[in-house]
Copies of this chain bind each other. A is one copy, B any other.
């Protein structure tokens, strides 16, 4: 794991090799796998990745606010806002203002929206299945565990770094941010 190479007779110089650097490798893998899934639906259904995330989120648990979708799918609220606007204009999502709180609105899939979800979900699942095809069962489980753990850890480290940088004060958040 450690990339620190000690060479005889020379001062130990920690060299970083990008190809072995975990965050870098995760990025490459994430980009590749995302592009793969995206290609399965983007062209055919004219749907972007953020749009798909919204459709998928609504497909699981209908009637969510934009805020909830953002939290659930880890997307910036502006991205959610614009993608939702687009989906509404194309008749895939319906917006219904919450009469209890006029600031927010509930979003639901229209029948066409649900049809799109039902069509794409199996494609995505089979893609995932093909992706992990070569892994041993043990490795699959290890990956599941590790991803969860690393995600939690990343979030913690990030918050920590943020607070360190934010002049050592505040609850780690500028005006908006966080999400």
Contact = CB atoms under 8 A, between A and B. Distances in A.
A97 interface: no
B138 A142 contact: yes
A13 B63 CA distance: 20
A138 B126 CA distance: 28
Contacts of A133: 153
A140 interface: yes
Chain A: number of interface residues, binned into ranges: 35 or more
Most chain B Cβ neighbours within 10 Å, of A4, A21, A57, A73 = A21
A154 B131 contact: yes
A28 interface: yes
Contact of A147 (B1, B17, B29, B74): B29
Contacts of A21: 56, 124, 128
Q: Is the interface of A mostly helix, strand, loop or mixed?
A: helix
Interface string A9-42: 0000011111101111111111111111101100
Interface in A110-151: 121-122, 124-125, 127-135, 138-147, 149-151
18 contacts: A3-B125, A14-B121, A14-B122, A15-B60, A16-B60, A16-B124, A22-B33, A23-B127, A26-B30, A27-B30, A27-B34, A28-B74, A28-B151, A30-B30, A36-B158, A43-B165, A132-B150, A133-B153
Interface of A: 1-4, 14-19, 21-37, 39-40, 43, 53, 56-57, 59-60, 72-74, 121-122, 124-125, 127-135, 138-147, 149-151, 153-155, 157-158, 161-162, 165
